Amino acid sequence: MTPIDAPEPINLLEALSEYQDFHTAIFLTYCADLAFFEAAVLHRLWQNGCRNIAVFMDAQRYADTLNDMRDSIKWVGRRYVVCPVRLENQRAFHPKLALLIGPERGRLMIGSGNLTFTGWGHNHEVYSCLDWTSVEPDLQSLFAQAWAFIQQIDKRWGHSPQIKTMLQKAIRIAPWLNHQTSSPDDIQLLHTLEGPIVQQLSQLLAKEVVHKLVVVTPFLDNDAAAIETLYRQFSPQQLHLILQPGKAVGNPEALLKLREQIPLQIYSYTEPERYLHAKIVTFETETASYILSGSPNCTRAALLLPPEHGNIEVALLRLGETSRQFDYVLKDRITLSPLQDLNALTLQAGRLTSDQAISSAIQVLDATVTNEMLNVRYRVVHLPEDITTLQTRITSTPPIYNPLKESAEGEQSAQFRLTQAHAVLQARPLSVSIGGQGPNQTWIDLGCNELWVTNADELHAQMMNTAVVSIGSGNCLAEGVVASDQEWGELYKTLAELIELDLAGLKTKGGTYTTTVEMPPLPPQPEEGETVIHMIGAEELARERAYTEAIDIERALFDESRFNAWLEYVSGRLSGVNSELIEPGENDNEDARDASKQKGRPEPLRVRHRPNPRLERRFVNLVRKYIGSLHNVAYMQSVSILHILTYFTVFQRIIWLLFEHEIIDQDEFARLILEMNAGFFGAWNESAPLCTPRLYRHIRRVWQTEWQKYEVGQYALASMELALHWIEQSEVTGGAKLQAAWQMVRLLTGIALVMNVKLLAEDTEAWAQVAKVYHQDEEEFRTQIRERITHSWSDALSLLQRWNLLVNVDTLAATDPNSAEYLRREQLDYHLAEYHIRKQLGETDTLLELCSASLSKAQQFGDLEIAIALEEDYIDLAEAAGQFKEVAQTLYKQGERLCRDKQFIEAYDKLQRALAISQSIEDSTLIASCRRVLRRIEFFLS
Amino acid sequence: MSKQKSFVTTTLEPRWTAQIYQAVTGEDFLGLRAVQESITSYLLPGITTITPRARYYPFYSWLLVEYGKKHPEGWPLGRFIHRREQIFALANLAWQETASDAVSIGLTGSDDLGEHWKQHREVVDIPLSVDNYVTARQGGYEAYAGVMQGLAITRYAENDDGLDVLPKGQALALAFTKSIQDTRYYRNRVKYDTARVIPKDVLLEYGERCHLSYLARSSDHQPTLETLFAFDAPHVLPHFEHTVPTLGNMRGTLGMILDMFDQTDVPLTDLRFRECITYGLCNDFASYQPAPLLRPFVAHWRMFQLREYYVYALYALWSYFLSWLRGQGQQTLDDFCVHLNHELDLAAIATELGISLKGRSLDTWSLDSWLTALLDVAHIPDGNFSRRCADFALQSQIPLQEHGLYLHIGAARRSDLAAYVGITWILLSVLYLRLEGIKPQSEEAWSPWYWARFGGMRRRSLAHFTRDMTYQIENNASLLDALRWLIRDYVIAQHTITALEKWRQRNAKTFHFNYENGIFEWIADDKTGFSATRFRQAYDMLFDLGLYEIPSESGGVPRLTTSGQQTLRCVLESLNDSD
């Protein structure tokens, strides 16, 4: 049988940048040449928009990057993070794997080459490159295995919070990585955390009779134990060992001895120029063949030893359809006949660098800069007796030393504000180590490791610096003017592209935007979808509460999205742009449009252009599909909240753009706005948002900052106000008008659940922006909206009371304790909303009770921010009601908390007030408490 | 896993990996020499290492004007130049056979056309068939095009990609025309543009008028001199980052060389020139004391040459490291440092150089005390370190002097540890002291020290070197620490960055070592050396202009001619008038 021709060699760098859909790249390697990595790999990943990049490497080799090559490295900790994996007992972290992750595509590269110039581009290495796509998910289980392998490594040896965040982001953007499916028949991923490779091979090939075994390796263990074990395990008739003369490392005597015992034949690799670093084992049976390729050499540490004593390795085992399937690998590369004289091979003795002291007195675990603070985590193992004080050394030029307060054994952390080092950090990577502090603050070397500082501030800033796809389309939206069909086309393309690209799981069908969502498989559930979805949501949110970093991940992912970059541009361009607009002359007679125009606007520069009918249809369809998605429960439960919020404001503006360009008339505008608001806030007659599966995630106070940032409330109110204004003037039925009015009440109540509407109405900067977008006179428009709000308060209060009841019912009916607790917790938003509305309505008699209830709920659930805000109100209300003891107690609590936070002056004022009131009501216990804390404060203030 | 099951992977894998590079050639493997190139371009913008003859300026100006007036239909400029330049070269070759005072150094195409001439010298009609005497598309003009723009002879036309010949160029063309206008060639030049042969006597007649060596006696002499000295340029030594033309620096640098001719009593070689610019501002350097108005130019050139010594030293360390690696096989950086610590006896080396230092091993000898010892042996009076460095910088007659150390290193073999590391380290130490001494106390917007900062971290600027050395001292570094730091950051890392840069730009593998698993493995050697000063080209041009002569009895020592003295006076006067 003729061997198959060898495929073209794989260019690893090209394989890395073949596709642009990757968000995350994770590399596992024994050693890394970070200068090469930055110049060749990082560069390509960045060009393709992949910014979430982590490298795991052996700790000893990590030290080389600091000791030998530090000055050739520029971006470590600033554009990617490297994690040293520190194994005990002389073990090596030895895998060579690259995993590229995107929402719709994954690429897994497993081979023998380290992340160095020679490993990726000079040596003779072998690699496998595997792809997963949502269309061809056959290799799902391999990716899931690789992902689990990486997670295990991070869990056991990773100390970088930044890498943990990266991994969390990756799984958020590509939840498919976690889906477990059955393994494919012809390929298996093996790694040593599961047990010795040779043991796994034995299990996998248990039913096979191996005739021939071929081993290619650059390293053999000193007594050739691994090759012997392979023989004993599989008993092949032939055992071929391929070694490169002058380069391979091994003990000739051990091989000679072994050759006397087993049918070992040694061949010479004939390609002399490039170093043979590939590691291959092929198994030939009667009818099939297998090939193992990856990181393990034919050594005891790589193949034979259990996880706690051996290396960490990863490899792929492939099944070939014929017994000669893998002959192509060595075709024309080895001598025709085996070598008789082993001296011809001139095997090398191993040349290993000296081991770094693993058991040093102290170990730096992580060093991360966040908000210009350097956070150092370290573990003190056992300090020499003469060392009493420790200090960190930041190896900038010159080095910066900071004493450490904690030197007790165990894990410790310290924080330093970066001043001069921070400026340096902007230009070059820094590293940190810890040593003892001798006389005159001299440095005493304790054999501590050194770590590159992760500059989370800069990493985050770089993530935000994502390429914008279309500045032109952003400009159109910022100006509110689309001047040609081409611009309309570009805007459409951008919206469709950005929205589809940024949404995990959102599918493209036939190149058009669709709201069809492919959801990750849910656990088995009964037929009544809505209730079950609700419960799932509650569980999810309960988890969210427990792990607030999930929200941070969502924020971080959104920050680095291209959509956000585009949005920032749109927002940044807003100011001053609209004043340059032109109105097409044919619009002049339309009263409604005139009414919406800003008075006294200067002469414009660009002319609005109504697009061709095809484009008009596409845009209207796009808006309708978007509105449809707001009513799609699965979609609303899968899309990130930040996308829900930002799309809402973008589509508000798109609808206005369509109206201004006469693509839709005012009736259509009003209808679309009503539908969109009904989708986003719920229809006027729907249940409370908390009880509505498609609404419970985004109408929550926890997103208050984002609502403010993206001006969700303002846009909702502004567009509804315009819509209502026209509906009221139109000839639609009274019922329709009433429904619209109720929709406005629902909207207002929804906003009240998230934020204080009074504060929203007072945000003059945001209103100025919104008024410009809608071409309204700012003052007039705000007054109009303020009046509308004022008139709607009492209806909003009624609605809110009804919602409260509904939530109560749901809470009582909840069988799952998680859901019940979640509902109770979230009800705080409803109490607060009611409190704020009543305050607006001036209903002082119920305010104290409401405020007190909300305050205790906030304290109960640890929502400190809300509690602090309510305390001030509570003091005023209680004082007005003559409840002086409560006032004094609250003031005392405030003072004590401020004292704990070292805000002594503020604390002093509060406690003085508390003391005065306590004395007036003669509460001796409280007097004593106040005096005790005051004495402490006086001590500090003195 | 069983063969009866279905197959999901269809590609043939695993695969061998591809080589990610192609070419393996290159130069400047530490990427340090671009800075010096920038300094010479600034100080001598009208001359490069490939523009050695002054007469090409009027000749190419004439060609450009001629092409603009008339050329065979459909001929691009390159073809026109190739034809006329071929005739020009043949005329030069023909004439110099008859005249002892004519030399063809720097004659474009002299290799191929020289051969052609030899083959046909006996015939009456010389074939004009060697259009490929040079590969450049626009012939020899391509080498001069840039500097002709720098000298304001030509400029790119504003609206298309053609060239404008500026008034200076037109004047040069006219002057060249005058030199050759009564030759038969000139009269029939249009015919010879397309002729297959040219009579030998026509060439001889033309050669006598156009020869590269006869500029001084021709009509185009004065305009060429004025162009090269740029007497009309309003600015001298303008800020490098400003958009002001640097043309005026020509008269300063050429004037400085004339000033050296005026003072020297030994032949002025490239090495002597380097010594003069390094120590011209020292109080004790008798060989050359520049005229006061030329001192700013010497100060700029000094920065060039100090960087040359510095780069030379780093290349020497690099060469030795490679040489050692070649001999030792796979080694770590720590191994190299252990080797230095065991083998390098700095005190012994110093003794061989004629000074006495109390010896210690590198790891116990502090950098601070080492530098102090150097100042002591240079007999610099006690005082604070800055003051002592300033005094040091004013002296050239010191036992350990850069130029002398350079000569020592240059005479040694690359594997000579004492020279290539020991003396090199002394050279770097001396450079540090001198640089510290001339460093301005406060940051000046524009001064020669600018060149110390030039190149930044990426090109290991002199300012970074002094700053880092100072930090090493402040950090109580030993000599071994300092050497390790230099080798690691200024040699190994620098080479890595440069090789990766070349790989990215040209797909070339220029790595001289493999580095993996903390181990270095030798691939190729490299050598140290200076980059070009352009002095030799300036020297030749000044000779072409007849500004100096080398009397046969002078032993190679140049003497200014009357024209040279007059030109030097003009330079000084014009510098006096400059802003």
Q: Span A24-50, mean pLDDT?
A: 93
- What six digits make up the tokens of A563? 């959509």
Half-sphere exposure of B258 (CA within 13 A, CB side): 28
- Rounded distance between C-alpha atoms, residue A676 and residue A668, angstroms: 12
Q: With an 8 Å Cβ cutoff, are B9 and A130 in contact?
A: yes
What percent of chain B has a predicted confidence (pLDDT) above 70?
Answer: 97
DSSP A32: B
Q: Does A119 touch chain B (CB under 8 A)?
A: yes
- Rounded distance between C-alpha atoms, residue A275 and residue A216, angstroms: 13
Number of H-type helices and E-type strands within chain A: 34, 22
DSSP A690: G
Selected residue with higher pLDDT from B95 and A425 = B95
Q: Say which amino acid occupies A815.
A: T
Q: With an 8 Å Cβ cutoff, are A35 and B497 in contact?
A: yes
Q: Mean pLDDT for chain A?
A: 84
Q: Does A293 touch chain B (CB under 8 A)?
A: yes
Chain B residues near residue A69 by CB distance under 8 angstroms: 488, 492-493, 496, 515
Chain A residues near residue B12 by CB distance under 8 angstroms: 4, 6-7, 328
Sequential DSSP letters for A92-148: -B---EEEEE-SSEEEEEEES--BSHHHHHTSB-EEEEEEEESS--TTHHHHHHHHH
Q: Which residues contact B145 (CB under 8 A, 6 or more apart)?
A: B138, B154
Question: A586 falls in which pLDDT band (50, 70, 90)?
Answer: very low
Q: With an 8 Å Cβ cutoff, are A122 and B21 in contact?
A: yes
Task: Give the predicted TM-score (pTM) of the model.
Answer: 0.76
- pLDDT value for A749: 94
What region, left, alpha or beta, does residue A371 occupy, with left being phi > 0 and alpha being psi -120 to 50 degrees?
left
What tens digit of pLDDT does each residue of A213-232 get?
999 999 999 999 999 999 99
What region, left, alpha or beta, does residue B69 occupy, with left being phi > 0 and alpha being psi -120 to 50 degrees?
alpha
DSSP A328: G
Three-state secondary structure of A208-221:
CCCCEEEEECCEEC
- Rounded distance between C-alpha atoms, residue A485 and residue B217, angstroms: 72
- pLDDT value for A357: 44
- pLDDT value for A524: 37
- pLDDT value for A303: 97
Are A232 and A207 a contacting pair, CB within 8 Å?
A: no
Nearest CA in chain B to A319: B3
> Residues in chain B with pLDDT < 50?
2-3
pLDDT at A628 over 90: no
Nearest CA in chain B to A63: B518
- Rounded distance between C-alpha atoms, residue A115 and residue A42, angstroms: 11
- pLDDT value for A685: 87
Chain B residues near residue A121 by CB distance under 8 angstroms: 17-21
Are A200 and A302 a contacting pair, CB within 8 Å?
A: no
Q: Strand B154-156 to strand B559-560: parallel, antiparallel, or no bridges (unpaired)?
A: unpaired
Q: With an 8 Å Cβ cutoff, are B515 and A69 in contact?
A: yes
pLDDT at A546 over 50: no
What percent of chain B has a predicted confidence (pLDDT) above 90?
Answer: 83
Which candidate in A72, A273, A286 is best for mutational testing of the B interface (most B CBs within 10 A)? A72
Backbone angles phi, psi at B42, to 5 degrees: -75, -45
Chain A residues near residue B7 by CB distance under 8 angstroms: 184-186, 319, 321
- Rounded distance between C-alpha atoms, residue A538 and residue A544, angstroms: 9
- pLDDT value for A561: 72
Report which listed range, A177-181, A367-371, A881-885, B402-406, is most confident. Answer: B402-406
- pLDDT value for A371: 77
Q: Which residues contact B35 (CB under 8 A, 6 or more apart)?
A: B307, B451, B454, B455, B459, B461
Q: With an 8 Å Cβ cutoff, are B9 and A318 in contact?
A: yes
- pLDDT value for A535: 40
Q: Mean pLDDT for chain B?
A: 93
Selected residue with higher pLDDT from B522 and A515 = B522
- Rounded distance between C-alpha atoms, residue B30 and residue A102, angstroms: 39
Question: A507 falls in which pLDDT band (50, 70, 90)?
Answer: very low
What tens digit of pLDDT does each residue of A251-278 get?
999 999 999 999 999 999 988 888 999 9
Residue the block writes with tokens 């409260």: A804
- pLDDT value for A469: 58
What tens digit of pLDDT does each residue of A63-75 get?
999 999 999 999 9
Q: Say which amino acid occupies A678.
A: A
Q: Span A826-851, mean pLDDT?
A: 86
pLDDT at A728 over 70: yes
For residue A194, the distance in angstroms to the closest alpha carbon of chain B comes to 17
Selected residue with higher pLDDT from A558 and A590 = A558
Question: A712 falls in which pLDDT band (50, 70, 90)?
Answer: very high
Three-state secondary structure of B229-274:
HCCCCCCCCCCCCCCCCCCCHHHHHHHHHHHHHHHCCCCCCHHHHH
Selected residue with higher pLDDT from A586 and B72 = B72
Nearest to B514 among A118, A329, A399 (CB): A118
- Rounded distance between C-alpha atoms, residue B117 and residue B207, angstroms: 13
- pLDDT value for A930: 92
- pLDDT value for B579: 54
Q: With an 8 Å Cβ cutoff, are A69 and B14 in contact?
A: no
Question: A626 falls in which pLDDT band (50, 70, 90)?
Answer: confident
Nearest CA in chain A to B12: A7
Half-sphere exposure of A67 (CA within 13 A, CB side): 20
Q: Say which amino acid occupies A894.
A: Q
